[in-house]
Amino acid sequence: MKTPSKTAEVLMNSRYLIEGEEWTDLAKRVGTAIAQAEKTPALQEEWAKKFTEIIQKGEFIPASPFLMNAGVNNHLFSCYVLPIKDSLAHIYETIADAAKIFQVAGGVGYEFSSLRPKGCFTTKSGGVSSGPVSFMRVFDASCNELKAGGRRKGAQMGTFRIDHPDIEEFINVKQDLSQLTNFNLSVTLTEAFMQAVHDNGSIMLQFKGQPQADREIQAKVLWEQIIENAWKCGEPGILFIDRINDKDPIGNITATNPCGEVPMPPYGCCDLGSIDLAKLFTRGKFDWTRYENLIEIAVRFLDDAIDINYYTLPQIKEQQLSERRIGLGIMGLADAFVKLGLAYDSSEACAISEDFARTLKDTAKATSEALALEKGAFPSQNLSKIKDSAPIRNATCTTIAPTGCLVPSTRVYSNKGCPRIGDLPFSKTTKTFLDVDYLNVSTDMGVEVSTKTYNNGIASTVKITTKRGFELEGTESHQIRVINDQGKYVWKKLKELQIGDLPCLAKGTAYDFPAHNVQLVPTEKLHFNADPNTKLPGELTPKVAYILGFFVGDGNFASEGVRFAFNLDEPDEIARIANVIDDVFGLSFWGATLPIGKGICYCLNSRPVKRWLYQFGCTNTGTKLQVPQQIWDSPAEVKGAFLRGLYDADGSASIHSRKIELNSHNQQFLKEIQRLILDLGIMSGFNSWIRGESCFSSGTMYKISITHQADIILFSQIIGFDHMGKGQTLAKIIESYTTSPRKYDNQPNLPEELDTSRIYVDKIVSIAYGESQTYDIEVPNGNAYIANGFVSHNSISIVAGCSSGIEPIYALTIERRHNLPGFEVIWEENELFVDIAKKQGFYSKALIEKIKKNSGSCQGIDEVPKDIQAIFKIAADITPINHISQLAVWQKFIDSAVSKTINLAASATQEDVGEIFWMAYEGGCKGITVFRDGCRGSQVLSSGAKKETRPDIIEGKIIRVPTSLGKMYVTVGIVDDQPFEVFVSLSQPGTNAFADAEALGRMVSLALRTKISVLEIVKQLKGIGAGSSSFHKGRAITSIPDAIAFALEKYFLDVKVAHPDDHAQFASGTEGAYCRDCDEE
């Protein structure tokens, strides 16, 4: 292993290395000790060598107790769960058991809601209970007195059911950060509680046998208290306890280990180790063979540990030998991404994570099954949920030890037709998932299953239009496939797209699914008492679709039925359509109406037919033309027949220009037709032109043109013309071709894995911005689906998470705090970042200081190249959605993963926390925790974003702002060119307004000193209204807060640049940019 960091050196010397040891000695000690579980001396020697090697190289690191105790006293397991019974004797018995565990370097999880509520009578003493939280303080004090083995501080997890009468005391206990300092806290939430939150309902708080403590409370009251406290101090976390028990192979889970990643039954224990992915690179490439080999060795290592471990309590030994739970995970994922040149929040990173996770699961399971054949399955398998599965050595094998959307009109291509995404079933609550019956969807690689729909609520959107006229509108973070400058097929967010970028369109999706029948409205509901002999089709056949297409093209409603328009010089065409109508409806044309120009209308006097057409959304108004949903839901043959009827009525073919065209005043209608013929595999172009006043119909016209030889041939085969004249022209066009179809012009070479007959590469010609309700779907395998023809990324599945093993880089500069003599604080710099910075020549101590002041982030620092900024995003730079996108990949392959800590910037709001928690629940997460930087004064890790000490002398700027209450002077103190404090003085001393202004200035100063951005402060204060306003420099000053916002905006956000939405101006400066008109960043 390479030279350790200062922190690693301090920790090894103070905690893990025994006297006289080096790291190589430690590796040999641990490897040799674990191998003693093997049956023969030869096997012991073989596996001791393998175990030692992987630890020595740092490729596999077992949990801390292995490093401290293997070969010493063999207390190897990290953490435990101990039960607590509702009796004073058992409470202190559990404290005594916990003390024994702390002495051997362990941590303990407990469920405290097993204890009776505060104020309830006790049976033996006749007194009243002091409640579970009071006993937690006793446990905390005991832990505080016993450092684990004298080297490692004991850790504890306290869980508490949401329906316990003392739940509010538990939730709020850490508002005083001096309380329960040796505990992590999590509330166990039931499905009944979460449903009550969703329904704005209430729950009963109750404890069996103590009815006097029962009370009813609104679920959202508790929910909001959890959110508020998580925002203030990072606790409590939440655990979805019903979900945990449902997914556990054994069940009976009430608590987790202190870090929260392993749920365990009473007397369960953690047998953990992690593989360092960043160590498995050879000449810049990841070594997959070595990864699989490491998994095999590590699973055996952890299983062997079960047999040589010294068990502090007999109940723990009995439990572990019965189930043989192990937890193999990974670490160094973020570092591996850096070595691969991938941004943590990129789709490429998620794709490689899936490969990492699948390999971990499959190889670990296969190894455990092989061990079962060699050594026997875990004894309680025959009583478990997996009793009918193949014998396996370990009940659990893997753990990980400490995420865009589209507008409602977007078409999705599926086995249930092509619905608009907004018409799919969705949860009525925004930011939530809804499980759906299996929906098979078209993707760029074939058909995949979609399992969830996602309601994202109203969001800012980006709308792209291609050269061919195709459109897609979605949220800024929604991704589509494009061909990049290197010719690679990659994902790109809509907000990152530029004019000239090359998005990929999928053709021929109608053929992805087997033919099926589309049923129509039952005829008995349409006949009423008239025309009882009229035939009203109950199924959408090709012939019915044809007449529907013809009606959409050249039909309209009359008072007694419907009319069809024809050219006067086409009697054969009139007769042909009359025969089709007779065949479909059993009716004949009644007669002709007055001629219109060169045309004439024939009537079909039938109110039932008129009513029958209503089901297709047909109207009298041309501006409301649409492709009926029934056509979208039809197989390819029916779609082709509908289009043939439409083109017979309104289309044209030209031998001179060798093209097929369709015109309409209705732009949106033609856009739908263009997508429909793309669904059949035919590419077309879209443009507009102006028809003059002298024409029958003047104004802007829109046109679809099919011009490429291959597409015209395909049109003739799939759609064609029944109209004699147009059909003859089409035949002449095809006869005029003397060569085989050429490739499309300007098409790049596609990667080999793509079907070139399916994918067409278009070019973006316009980008617009807006706001809309947005939705998405989940496609677990492949993460893609076809939307409006574009290859679109699916939503992330918001599921159970993991700790630092898959976390992004916390910060590039870290202040680590230790309770170690002489090493209270150690500053670290990210080694990979420093190495790259030195190689590329932009490293300097001044740069590191800038990063420290930027909360450990390199984003926005000019000295750092943009490509380096992209791959070195820290936790606070990554959105919660992108944090969780990694979880979606890992959870489906991990046995015991429970919780995810999302590290948030100091400026994160309570609303952000609530949104994260709710997304976690709706997405199937087992548990989650948030941590807002700076929310605790003595956190172990800090990026440096904490309250700063005021220098004795600072420079300032005084800004005068007139208000309706008189002149106000805002004095802004400046440190290192950044705002540091604000003093506000109003020309009305002694008044309430004067006091309010001074108080608000103090609060703004406090926010600035804790690194809340000027931009965020301005956005919070700007526009707050009062009784009256004044005007200053063309702007209304509506209140004292608004005046402070004006002063800060004027001084720190005063550079004018163009806004992409043509709003008045942007303001930009040291804190970023935002629009003064709409506050959009």
* pLDDT tens sequence across 954-988: 777 888 888 877 778 888 888 877 788 888 887 66
Q: 44 phi and psi, to 5 degrees?
A: -60, -45
Distance of CA 286 to the CA centre of its chain: 26
- Report the pLDDT averaged over residues 899-909: 69
3-state secondary structure of 1021: helix
**Alpha helices, H only, 785-932:** 831-840, 845-853, 866-871, 880-891, 910-922
Q: 428 phi and psi, to 5 degrees?
A: -75, -15
Residue 490 pLDDT: 78
Residue 527 pLDDT: 54
Distance of CA 309 to the CA centre of its chain: 40
Residue 1068 pLDDT: 36
Q: Is the dihedral of CA 46, 9, 876, 1059 positive or negative?
A: negative
Tell me the domains of the chain and their CATH numbers. Answer: 6-75+270-383 (no CATH), 79-264 (3.20.70.20), 421-507+758-793 (2.170.16.10), 527-735 (3.10.28.10), 818-891+900-942 (no CATH), 955-1075 (no CATH)
Q: Which residues pair with 986 in a beta bridge?
A: 968
pLDDT at 269 over 70: yes
What percentage of the chain carries pLDDT values higher than 70?
A: 81
Residue 596 pLDDT: 58
Q: Which residues pair with 699 in a beta bridge?
A: 691
Q: Yes or no: say if 266 and 108 are a contact pair by the CB < 8 Å rule.
A: no
Residue 85 pLDDT: 93
- Report the pLDDT averaged over residues 551-559: 86
Model's pTM, two decimal places?
Answer: 0.51
CB-based burial, 1018-1045: b 16+ in 10 Å, e otherwise: bebbbeeeeeeebeeeeeebbbbbbbbb
3-state secondary structure of 803: coil
Q: Yes or no: say if 899 and 890 are a contact pair by the CB < 8 Å rule.
A: no
Q: Yes or no: say if 615 and 521 are a contact pair by the CB < 8 Å rule.
A: yes
pLDDT band at 1064 (very low <50, low <70, confident <90, very high): very low
Cα distance between the two ends of the chain: 45
* Least confidently predicted of 160-164, 501-505, 521-525, 758-762: 521-525
pLDDT at 220 over 60: yes
pLDDT at 106 over 80: no
Q: Yes or no: say if 810 and 816 are a contact pair by the CB < 8 Å rule.
A: no
Q: Yes or no: say if 422 and 775 are a contact pair by the CB < 8 Å rule.
A: yes
pLDDT at 931 over 50: yes
DSSP-derived secondary structure for 338-349? HHHT--TTSHHH
Residue 1010 pLDDT: 62
Residue 31 pLDDT: 96
Q: Yes or no: say if 813 and 7 are a contact pair by the CB < 8 Å rule.
A: no
pLDDT at 58 over 60: yes
Q: Yes or no: say if 400 and 467 are a contact pair by the CB < 8 Å rule.
A: no
3-state secondary structure of 804: helix
Is residue 287 exposed (0-12), middle (13-18) or buried (19+ Cβ within 10 Å)? Answer: middle
Nearest to 679 by CA among 631, 645, 647, 712: 631
Which residues contact residue 1024 at a Cβ distance below 8 angstroms, ignoring those fewer than 6 apart?
1038, 1039, 1041, 1042
DSSP state of 454: E
* Pairwise CA distance, residues 1076 & 1081, whole Å: 10
Active site residues: 257, 259, 261
pLDDT at 817 over 50: no
Q: Report helix, strand and coil shares of the chain as percent, to nearest 5.
A: 35, 25, 40
Is residue 520 exposed (0-12), middle (13-18) or buried (19+ Cβ within 10 Å)? Answer: middle
Q: 795 phi and psi, to 5 degrees?
A: -65, 160
